[in-house]
Structure 1
Amino acid sequence: MTGAAGSALAGGVLIGVAATLLLALTGRIAGISGILGGVLRPQRGELAWRLAFLLGLVAAGAAWLAWMPGAPPPRQGFPPVLLVIAGLLVGIGTRMGNGCTSGHGVCGLGRLSLRSLVAVVVFMATAIATTYVVRHAA
Protein backbone atom coordinates (compact mmCIF):
# COMPACT_ATOMS: atom_id res chain seq x y z
CA MET A 1 0.00 0.00 0.00
CA THR A 2 1.49 3.31 -1.06
CA GLY A 3 0.59 6.97 -1.23
CA ALA A 4 -2.18 8.56 0.78
CA ALA A 5 -3.75 5.23 1.79
CA GLY A 6 -0.43 3.95 3.13
CA SER A 7 0.19 7.18 5.02
CA ALA A 8 -3.31 7.10 6.50
CA LEU A 9 -2.89 3.48 7.56
CA ALA A 10 0.50 4.14 9.12
CA GLY A 11 -0.84 7.23 10.90
CA GLY A 12 -3.83 5.32 12.23
CA VAL A 13 -1.63 2.52 13.52
CA LEU A 14 0.70 5.01 15.23
CA ILE A 15 -2.23 6.82 16.85
CA GLY A 16 -3.65 3.52 18.08
CA VAL A 17 -0.31 2.35 19.44
CA ALA A 18 0.32 5.69 21.18
CA ALA A 19 -3.16 5.71 22.75
CA THR A 20 -2.80 2.10 23.88
CA LEU A 21 0.65 2.66 25.37
CA LEU A 22 -0.47 5.81 27.19
CA LEU A 23 -3.44 3.98 28.69
CA ALA A 24 -1.45 0.84 29.54
CA LEU A 25 1.55 2.63 31.03
CA THR A 26 -0.08 5.58 32.77
CA GLY A 27 -3.80 4.85 32.95
CA ARG A 28 -4.42 8.10 31.02
CA ILE A 29 -6.70 8.65 28.04
CA ALA A 30 -5.05 10.15 24.94
CA GLY A 31 -7.63 12.90 24.49
CA ILE A 32 -5.76 15.90 23.20
CA SER A 33 -8.10 18.46 24.77
CA GLY A 34 -7.62 16.88 28.19
CA ILE A 35 -3.87 16.67 27.74
CA LEU A 36 -3.67 20.32 26.65
CA GLY A 37 -6.02 21.35 29.47
CA GLY A 38 -3.62 19.73 31.93
CA VAL A 39 -0.77 21.81 30.50
CA LEU A 40 -2.79 25.01 30.89
CA ARG A 41 -3.79 24.07 34.46
CA PRO A 42 -0.84 21.94 35.56
CA GLN A 43 -0.90 19.70 38.60
CA ARG A 44 2.13 18.34 40.38
CA GLY A 45 3.78 15.52 38.43
CA GLU A 46 1.49 15.93 35.40
CA LEU A 47 3.24 18.52 33.26
CA ALA A 48 6.21 16.61 31.80
CA TRP A 49 4.35 13.74 30.16
CA ARG A 50 1.68 16.10 28.81
CA LEU A 51 4.28 18.40 27.23
CA ALA A 52 6.15 15.41 25.81
CA PHE A 53 2.96 14.05 24.25
CA LEU A 54 2.02 17.40 22.67
CA LEU A 55 5.57 18.06 21.45
CA GLY A 56 5.59 14.55 19.96
CA LEU A 57 2.45 15.38 17.97
CA VAL A 58 4.05 18.49 16.53
CA ALA A 59 7.40 16.78 15.93
CA ALA A 60 5.76 13.85 14.13
CA GLY A 61 3.90 16.21 11.79
CA ALA A 62 7.07 18.18 11.09
CA ALA A 63 9.04 14.97 10.47
CA TRP A 64 6.40 13.70 8.05
CA LEU A 65 6.51 16.95 6.09
CA ALA A 66 10.32 16.96 6.05
CA TRP A 67 10.91 13.31 5.15
CA MET A 68 7.98 12.30 2.98
CA PRO A 69 8.65 13.12 -0.64
CA GLY A 70 5.63 14.68 -2.26
CA ALA A 71 3.85 15.34 1.04
CA PRO A 72 1.17 17.96 0.53
CA PRO A 73 2.08 21.23 2.24
CA PRO A 74 -0.16 22.59 4.99
CA ARG A 75 -2.95 24.81 3.67
CA GLN A 76 -2.30 28.50 4.03
CA GLY A 77 -4.10 31.76 3.44
CA PHE A 78 -6.85 31.42 6.01
CA PRO A 79 -7.97 34.73 7.57
CA PRO A 80 -6.51 34.86 11.11
CA VAL A 81 -9.83 36.07 12.57
CA LEU A 82 -11.60 32.99 11.22
CA LEU A 83 -8.88 30.73 12.62
CA VAL A 84 -9.32 32.25 16.07
CA ILE A 85 -13.11 31.92 15.87
CA ALA A 86 -12.79 28.32 14.67
CA GLY A 87 -10.40 27.52 17.51
CA LEU A 88 -12.75 29.02 20.08
CA LEU A 89 -15.71 27.08 18.66
CA VAL A 90 -13.71 23.85 18.79
CA GLY A 91 -12.78 24.59 22.40
CA ILE A 92 -16.40 25.30 23.34
CA GLY A 93 -17.57 22.14 21.57
CA THR A 94 -14.89 20.11 23.30
CA ARG A 95 -16.05 21.41 26.66
CA MET A 96 -19.71 20.75 25.84
CA GLY A 97 -18.92 17.25 24.55
CA ASN A 98 -16.79 16.46 27.59
CA GLY A 99 -13.88 15.57 25.34
CA CYS A 100 -12.55 15.80 21.81
CA THR A 101 -12.60 13.56 18.78
CA SER A 102 -9.35 11.87 19.78
CA GLY A 103 -10.53 11.08 23.30
CA HIS A 104 -13.97 9.87 22.27
CA GLY A 105 -13.21 8.51 18.80
CA VAL A 106 -9.95 6.70 19.42
CA CYS A 107 -9.98 5.91 23.11
CA GLY A 108 -13.65 5.95 24.05
CA LEU A 109 -14.78 3.74 21.17
CA GLY A 110 -11.88 1.39 21.87
CA ARG A 111 -13.18 1.02 25.43
CA LEU A 112 -16.76 0.48 24.13
CA SER A 113 -18.06 3.66 25.81
CA LEU A 114 -21.67 4.44 24.88
CA ARG A 115 -21.10 8.12 25.70
CA SER A 116 -18.20 8.19 23.27
CA LEU A 117 -20.27 6.49 20.57
CA VAL A 118 -22.94 9.19 20.90
CA ALA A 119 -20.28 11.92 20.86
CA VAL A 120 -18.63 10.50 17.72
CA VAL A 121 -21.99 10.26 15.91
CA VAL A 122 -22.67 13.92 16.79
CA PHE A 123 -19.13 14.96 15.71
CA MET A 124 -19.46 13.18 12.38
CA ALA A 125 -22.98 14.45 11.67
CA THR A 126 -21.85 17.99 12.42
CA ALA A 127 -18.78 17.62 10.20
CA ILE A 128 -20.85 16.25 7.33
CA ALA A 129 -23.44 19.03 7.65
CA THR A 130 -20.76 21.72 7.91
CA THR A 131 -18.92 20.41 4.87
CA TYR A 132 -22.13 20.34 2.87
CA VAL A 133 -23.04 23.90 3.85
CA VAL A 134 -19.55 25.28 3.20
CA ARG A 135 -19.05 23.51 -0.13
CA HIS A 136 -22.52 23.34 -1.62
CA ALA A 137 -24.99 25.66 0.07
CA ALA A 138 -22.89 28.76 0.61
Structure 2
Amino acid sequence: MTPFTPFASLAGGILLGLSAVLVMALFGRIAGISGITTGAVPGRRDNWSWRIAFVGGLVAAPLLILSVTGEPVQQTVPGNLVAMAIAGLLVGFGTITGSGCTSGHGVCGLARLSTRSLASVVTFMIFAAATVFVLRHLV
Protein backbone atom coordinates (compact mmCIF):
# COMPACT_ATOMS: atom_id res chain seq x y z
CA MET A 1 0.00 0.00 0.00
CA THR A 2 1.25 3.46 -0.89
CA PRO A 3 1.55 5.76 2.16
CA PHE A 4 -0.55 8.92 2.34
CA THR A 5 1.80 11.91 1.97
CA PRO A 6 -0.31 15.06 1.61
CA PHE A 7 2.46 17.60 2.29
CA ALA A 8 5.00 16.01 -0.03
CA SER A 9 2.31 15.64 -2.69
CA LEU A 10 1.25 19.26 -2.30
CA ALA A 11 4.86 20.44 -2.53
CA GLY A 12 5.44 18.30 -5.61
CA GLY A 13 2.28 19.62 -7.26
CA ILE A 14 3.27 23.21 -6.55
CA LEU A 15 6.76 22.66 -7.99
CA LEU A 16 5.34 20.90 -11.06
CA GLY A 17 2.89 23.74 -11.67
CA LEU A 18 5.60 26.33 -11.13
CA SER A 19 7.92 24.60 -13.60
CA ALA A 20 5.11 24.42 -16.18
CA VAL A 21 4.39 28.14 -15.80
CA LEU A 22 8.09 29.04 -15.99
CA VAL A 23 8.70 26.94 -19.11
CA MET A 24 5.69 28.56 -20.80
CA ALA A 25 6.62 32.09 -19.66
CA LEU A 26 10.35 31.87 -20.41
CA PHE A 27 10.42 29.70 -23.52
CA GLY A 28 6.86 29.70 -24.86
CA ARG A 29 6.84 25.89 -24.72
CA ILE A 30 4.68 23.24 -23.08
CA ALA A 31 6.39 21.47 -20.16
CA GLY A 32 5.73 17.96 -21.43
CA ILE A 33 8.51 15.54 -20.56
CA SER A 34 8.38 13.66 -23.87
CA GLY A 35 8.81 16.88 -25.86
CA ILE A 36 11.50 18.21 -23.55
CA THR A 37 13.58 15.02 -23.64
CA THR A 38 13.18 14.62 -27.41
CA GLY A 39 14.28 18.22 -27.92
CA ALA A 40 17.21 17.81 -25.53
CA VAL A 41 19.16 15.93 -28.19
CA PRO A 42 21.57 18.45 -29.74
CA GLY A 43 20.59 19.40 -33.26
CA ARG A 44 16.99 18.17 -32.87
CA ARG A 45 15.40 21.50 -31.97
CA ASP A 46 16.28 25.09 -31.22
CA ASN A 47 17.19 26.10 -27.68
CA TRP A 48 18.15 22.64 -26.48
CA SER A 49 20.24 23.97 -23.56
CA TRP A 50 17.21 24.71 -21.35
CA ARG A 51 15.92 21.20 -22.11
CA ILE A 52 19.21 19.69 -20.93
CA ALA A 53 18.93 21.78 -17.75
CA PHE A 54 15.34 20.58 -17.21
CA VAL A 55 16.31 16.91 -17.61
CA GLY A 56 19.35 17.53 -15.40
CA GLY A 57 17.00 18.86 -12.72
CA LEU A 58 14.95 15.67 -12.93
CA VAL A 59 18.11 13.65 -12.33
CA ALA A 60 19.48 15.97 -9.64
CA ALA A 61 16.29 16.19 -7.56
CA PRO A 62 16.56 12.73 -5.95
CA LEU A 63 20.24 13.38 -5.25
CA LEU A 64 19.31 16.66 -3.55
CA ILE A 65 16.69 14.85 -1.44
CA LEU A 66 19.33 12.28 -0.46
CA SER A 67 21.82 14.99 0.53
CA VAL A 68 19.23 16.91 2.60
CA THR A 69 17.44 14.02 4.32
CA GLY A 70 20.14 11.36 4.28
CA GLU A 71 17.64 8.89 2.85
CA PRO A 72 17.19 7.90 -0.80
CA VAL A 73 13.89 8.54 -2.54
CA GLN A 74 11.73 5.44 -2.17
CA GLN A 75 10.73 4.03 -5.54
CA THR A 76 9.16 0.68 -6.25
CA VAL A 77 9.77 -0.81 -9.66
CA PRO A 78 8.38 -4.13 -10.84
CA GLY A 79 10.96 -6.86 -11.33
CA ASN A 80 9.57 -8.01 -14.68
CA LEU A 81 11.93 -6.32 -17.13
CA VAL A 82 10.13 -7.68 -20.21
CA ALA A 83 6.82 -6.19 -19.05
CA MET A 84 8.56 -2.89 -18.24
CA ALA A 85 10.13 -2.79 -21.71
CA ILE A 86 6.76 -3.46 -23.37
CA ALA A 87 5.10 -0.83 -21.19
CA GLY A 88 7.81 1.69 -22.09
CA LEU A 89 7.34 1.04 -25.79
CA LEU A 90 3.57 1.42 -25.46
CA VAL A 91 4.00 4.70 -23.58
CA GLY A 92 6.40 5.94 -26.27
CA PHE A 93 3.96 4.93 -28.99
CA GLY A 94 1.17 6.70 -27.11
CA THR A 95 3.12 9.93 -26.75
CA ILE A 96 3.87 9.96 -30.48
CA THR A 97 0.30 9.07 -31.45
CA GLY A 98 -1.24 11.52 -28.97
CA SER A 99 1.18 14.34 -29.79
CA GLY A 100 2.34 14.59 -26.19
CA CYS A 101 2.54 12.91 -22.82
CA THR A 102 0.56 12.94 -19.60
CA SER A 103 2.43 15.94 -18.24
CA GLY A 104 2.04 17.97 -21.42
CA HIS A 105 -1.65 17.21 -21.88
CA GLY A 106 -2.66 16.70 -18.24
CA VAL A 107 -0.88 19.60 -16.61
CA CYS A 108 -0.34 22.16 -19.35
CA GLY A 109 -3.00 21.28 -21.91
CA LEU A 110 -5.88 21.16 -19.46
CA ALA A 111 -4.70 24.42 -17.88
CA ARG A 112 -4.92 26.01 -21.35
CA LEU A 113 -8.41 24.51 -21.84
CA SER A 114 -7.23 22.53 -24.88
CA THR A 115 -9.93 20.19 -26.21
CA ARG A 116 -7.25 17.95 -27.73
CA SER A 117 -5.62 17.63 -24.32
CA LEU A 118 -8.98 16.90 -22.69
CA ALA A 119 -9.57 14.08 -25.18
CA SER A 120 -6.04 12.75 -24.54
CA VAL A 121 -6.41 12.88 -20.75
CA VAL A 122 -9.79 11.12 -20.85
CA THR A 123 -8.32 8.46 -23.14
CA PHE A 124 -5.22 7.73 -21.07
CA MET A 125 -7.19 7.77 -17.81
CA ILE A 126 -9.64 5.20 -19.20
CA PHE A 127 -6.78 2.99 -20.36
CA ALA A 128 -4.92 3.45 -17.06
CA ALA A 129 -8.00 2.39 -15.06
CA ALA A 130 -8.56 -0.58 -17.37
CA THR A 131 -4.92 -1.63 -17.05
CA VAL A 132 -5.03 -1.48 -13.26
CA PHE A 133 -8.26 -3.46 -13.22
CA VAL A 134 -6.88 -6.16 -15.52
CA LEU A 135 -3.56 -6.45 -13.68
CA ARG A 136 -5.08 -6.50 -10.20
CA HIS A 137 -8.23 -8.52 -10.77
CA LEU A 138 -7.85 -10.63 -13.90
CA VAL A 139 -4.16 -11.53 -14.18
1:105 and 1:90 mapped to 2: Cα distance?
A: 15
- Extract unaligned runs of 5+ from structure 1: none
User: 1:65 touches 1:73 (CA, 8 Å); kept in 2?
Assistant: no
TM-score calculated relative to the size of structure 1: 0.87
Q: Kindly tell me the number of residue pairs found equivalent between the two proteins.
A: 136
What secondary structure, in the 3-state scheme, does the structure 2 residue paired with 1:28 have? coil
Cα shift readout 1:13-61 (whole Å, capped 9, x = no counterpart): 0000000011001101101101111124634642211110011112123
Describe how 1:1-138 pairs up with structure 2 within 5 A.
4-40=5-41, 42-43=43-44, 45-68=46-69, 73-76=74-77, 78-138=79-139
Q: Return closer, same or farther for 1:122/1:28 CA change in 2, 3 Å cut-off.
A: same
The CA RMSD measured in Å over matched residues stands at: 2.1
What secondary structure, in the 3-state scheme, does the structure 2 residue paired with 1:29 have? coil
Pairwise CA distance, 1:85:
1.6
2:107 and 2:132 mapped to 1: Cα distance?
A: 22
1:128 and 1:44 mapped to 2: Cα distance?
A: 35
TM-score calculated relative to the size of structure 2: 0.87
Pairwise CA distance, 1:80:
2.2
